[in-house]
């Protein structure tokens, strides 16, 4: 959540500092067009890569994300086994549900 808030504030600062300069260079309609393209790219990313979590508890979300055999961390691309990522208690619950 902190990373998301920081990114939001950072992008807002970048847009605020550059908006008038870019508007003078290329015009308002092109600036709006560029912002529209960036917004559509962000929407496409969310639709394709972010899973739906509406109505799910945090435990259910954790279980669904941990069901993958391997997960790559986005910063260093190191694969980790799911057993390291899934808490032991949730793993026991999953086994009990299967039985």
pLDDT digits (tens, 9 = 90+) for 25-51: 999 999 999 999 999 999 998 888 877
Cβ–Cβ under 8 Å, residues 71 and 79: yes
Q: Is residue 41 part of a domain?
A: yes
Q: Is residue 27 part of a domain?
A: yes
Q: Is residue 64 part of a domain?
A: no
Q: Is residue 58 part of a domain?
A: no
Instruction: Return the higher-pLDDT residue of 94 and 65.
Output: 65
Q: Is residue 78 part of a domain?
A: no
The total number of structural domains in the chain stands at 1
Tabulate helix, strand, coil % of the chain (nearest 5): 70, 5, 20
Q: Is residue 73 part of a domain?
A: no
Which range of residues forms the domain containing residue 39?
1-51
Distance from C-alpha of 71 to C-alpha of 74, rounded to nearest angstrom: 9
| Burial zone of 41 (CB within 10 Å; 0-12 exposed, 13-18 middle, 19+ buried) | exposed
Mean predicted confidence (pLDDT) in 73-88: 50
């Amino acid at each position: 959540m902190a990373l998301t808030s920081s990114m939001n504030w950072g992008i807002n600062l970048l847009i605020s500092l550059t908006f008038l300069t870019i508007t003078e260079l290329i015009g308002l309609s092109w600036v709006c067009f560029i912002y529209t393209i960036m917004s559509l790219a962000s929407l496409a990313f969310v639709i394709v890569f972010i899973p739906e979590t509406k109505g799910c508890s945090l435990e259910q979300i954790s279980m669904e994300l941990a069901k993958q055999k391997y997960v790559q961390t986005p910063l260093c691309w190191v694969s980790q086994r799911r057993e390291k990522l899934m808490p032991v208690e949730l793993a026991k619950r999953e086994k009990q549900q299967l039985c």
